[in-house]
Structure formats: C-alpha cells, structure tokens
Amino acid sequence: MGGVCCCLSEPIDFDAEVTLYHFDLHRAVGKGAFGKVRVVEHKRSKKLYALKYIDKAKCIRQKAIANVIQERRLLEEIDHPFIVNLRYAFQDDENCFFVLDLMLGGDLRFHLERRGYIKEEVVRFWIAELACALEYLHRQRIIHRDLKPDNILLDAAGHAHITDFNVAIHYSERRMHTSVAGSMAYMAPQVVGRKGYSWAIDWWSLGITAYELIFHKRPFDGRSAEKMTQAILKEPLRFPEDANTRCSEAGISALKGFITRDPETRLGCRPNGQGIKDIRQHPWFETIDWDTIETKECQPPFVPDMKQANFDVAHELDEFLMVEKPLTHTKRKVNPDLDKMKPELRQLEEQFTVYDFSSSKRVSYYPHNQPVIAHGTSTDDSERTMAQSTNGTLIPTATIAERSQAGSPMLDSDSNRYYVPPPLPSSQGPVP
C-alpha cells in the first residue's frame, strides 16, 4: 500500500498518473483569461503549489488552444530560481491544469498600486534577479514577449519570478518574428512596428517595467492603440521633472540603456558587447553581488507582509458567491473516443500531455517545437483585439497575440539589411 492514501471517498494511488485528486484545494488567489489560480496542497508531500486551471470550452471559444499547448510545452523546458516553474500538468474533461511554484508575495502590479512607487534600490534588486532569468530563457531560445509588473511574482521572502508564458515562443537563429504579441505599453518598437524581432525585445520590456516601478508611470502612452504605437516608435524617452529625487544618475543611465530603440545598442544586446556581462558591469549594478543573487542567498530589500493577502480578495468571493462554477474533483470519462471529439478537444487530449516533475525529465522541444497551429483554423494571421476600458483608454495590462507569419525574413526594413541578433554565450555548445 506504499503509494496509496486513504481518503474520504476511495484510495488515491500516488504512483499512478497525477490527477486533481492528488491535491487538496485551498483559496483562490488570481484570475486569468480562461480560468483561475488557487492554492493547492499535494496530499502526500504536503507541499503547497499554485494551481492554474484553464476552462477548455472558454479556451476553444477564444481560439486559444494553440497558446495553451505552446505554454505547456515551453514550461516543460524551464527550471530556474527566478521563474515560476511547472511542477505538474494534467487535464480532466473540463479543464487543463498547470501546477506551479507557489508565490504568495503578490505581483509587482499589486505592490506598485498599493505603495505608489517602489524605491530605486528595491527595483534594482528585482531587475538583477529578472536579468538572470531572461538570460536563462534566451539561452533556451525562448522569448517571453509579455514582461510587465503583472507577470512578475514575489515569493514570501521577496525574490522576483517571471510567470505567464502564454505568448512565449522559441526564436530562430535564421528568421525574425513579426507577429504582434504581448501588452502594448511594454512592446518594443520592433514589435509594434512589425519590423521583425528576436530575444532583444525582452530587455526593452524589462526597462519599461523598471521605469514604471520607479516613477509609477510608463514612458510611452496613448489613449488609442495608434497613438501608443506612434509614441513607442517616435517619441523621445522623457523622465519626470523630479526624476533625480527617485532615481540616481546610474539608474537613469540603465533605463536609457534598456529603452533604446535600436536593438544593436540596447543594454544587454550589443553585438560586440557581452550580453549579461554588459548589464553586470553597468554602474547601476555595482552594489549587486551577482554570485549571491544567482544562488538566492542575498537578502531582498523588500519583504512582502505575509500577515495580509498580497492579492485581490475578490477572487475568493467569486466562488463563495457562486458567480462562477466552483472547481471540484471530477472523474474523467473512461477511454474517450478521440474520433468523435471536436478537433480542438482532441488536440488538447493528444498534445496537452501529463507532466510530473518528480518522475518526468525536462525535455527541449527546440528546434522541433514549431508554433502550435490550432486544428480547424485558417492560416491567415489573426489578431486578438486589445481590451479597452469603458472610457476608451487602452488597458495596458491586457495581453494580445497573433500568429507569426510563416517564414518572415530577418529583414530590417529601415535599412533593407538583415539584422542578426548578437550570439548568446552558451555553455551547452551549439544546438543543431
């Protein structure tokens, strides 16, 4: 009986494939486009995790099947101290489940809105941690494409972690991406201008995020998508009049380095520079002990107050008031007939595979992991409209995505030349 635990209903075989029955469900702590996030406890190990669950029907309606499968695959490749890592993945008849590292310290949007702005030394510490995570992702040939305060979570100790890989993709050494994806206020000029882009866009988004955390405003804004696009493409980078009271000269210099329109001169991206070494050697980071940063041994300058909820408690009320159907443990249909399923449900059944970090080896889908195409959709580029608020202003935190044009060349249309991103240092040697 070693792997079997007696429960209220029937024994659970923990040595069998992981299911929702392996977990006790606790409080809801977040809400996304297709489902919620709640705290769960593994019944055998007693470890707490975050359960992100995605409603299949809603996902099909919003034509997001490909994104969910892509996210599931990418997360299987990733394991890093400053990323919210995947621990389990599985599905039942109604939902797809991601079981992830639990971050109870709240997201940076929550803390920014509650505090008004974040002190420079705190932001510098987070940016150093996030820079380690981005360097790791780019070595794995992954572009996040949606870095913003909402997608950075703190653990209870105050360390920063990148989450939400819903629009993340592998990049190619040979071709640039042209699809518009991410949250507009944080998109690099190469994205909104459809000029072709690669991993360098994440460093721009990191710079915009740092600017917003320090000054509680973004450098480029607009009341419409068109105005925001023009601001990102053409407006000079400006700082508030009282910028020097919030940020040092070295900090301003680092922000200017990240928020540089030309990817060849952007901090961390210069072709003849040394990537992350350029960042480490920048005067703004001279007080950072990179060795202890990478091992998570250094004390974060900001520690979340764990005596109170670091999230919007309205998420819990939704289920309490029965606004939405509560999540429950349900048994799957036995041996479903794949041939009789809707194409989208069959695709999920076949491609959203089970993952268990305690027994599965992390694998890389690169270079075979081409963008997942949803069954039954056309091959034309389709763009999800950016969410707008009732007063017509853009909601900067809404994520949009469209599929990349197949075979888009690495062409810099400003100068009619091909732009080759600088090589990333790699200890693993070249990947074929």
CATH of the domain at 407: 1.10.510.10
Written as six digits, the tokens of 246 are 């919030």
Same domain for 286 and 402?
yes
Same domain for 118 and 61?
no
Same domain for 234 and 330?
no
Same domain for 392 and 275?
yes
**pLDDT tens, position by position, for the chain (432 residues)?**
455 554 455 688 888 899 999 999 998 887 766 668 889 999 999 999 999 999 998 889 988 898 899 999 999 999 999 999 999 999 999 999 999 999 999 999 999 999 999 999 999 999 999 999 999 999 999 999 999 999 999 999 999 999 999 899 999 888 899 999 999 999 999 999 998 999 999 999 999 999 999 999 999 988 899 999 999 999 999 999 999 999 999 999 999 999 999 999 999 998 877 889 999 999 999 999 999 999 999 999 999 998 877 776 554 445 544 445 667 777 766 666 666 778 888 889 889 999 999 888 777 766 554 555 555 443 333 333 333 333 334 555 677 766 444 333 333 333 323 233 344 444 333 333
Cβ(49)–Cβ(147) below 8 Å = no
Same domain for 38 and 168?
no
Catalytic residue among 146, 164, 202, 412: 146
Same domain for 267 and 182?
yes
Q: State the pTM of this model.
A: 0.83
In a domain, 387, yes or no: yes
Same domain for 204 and 246?
yes
Annotated binding-site residue numbers for ATP: 52
Specify whether 146 is catalytic: yes
- Quickly count: other Cβ atoms within 10 Å of residue 143's Cβ: 24
In a domain, 363, yes or no: no
Same domain for 20 and 59?
yes
In a domain, 232, yes or no: yes
Q: What is d(CA 361, CA 344) in angstroms, rounded to the nearest whole number?
A: 27
In a domain, 423, yes or no: no
Where residue 45 sits, what CATH number does that domain have?
A: 3.30.200.20
| Count of structural domains, the chain | 2
Same domain for 196 and 159?
yes
Tally DSSP H helices, then E strands, for the chain. Answer: 13, 16
Same domain for 126 and 237?
yes
Q: What is d(CA 89, CA 95) in angstroms, rounded to the nearest whole number?
A: 11
Q: Closest by alpha carbon to 364, among 146, 79, 50?
A: 79
Q: For the chain, percent helix, then strand, then coil, each to nearest 5? A: 30, 15, 55
- The domain in which residue 344 lies consists of 10-103+311-356
HSE toward the beta carbon, residue 9, CA cutoff 13 A: 7
In a domain, 427, yes or no: no
How many residues are there in the chain? 432
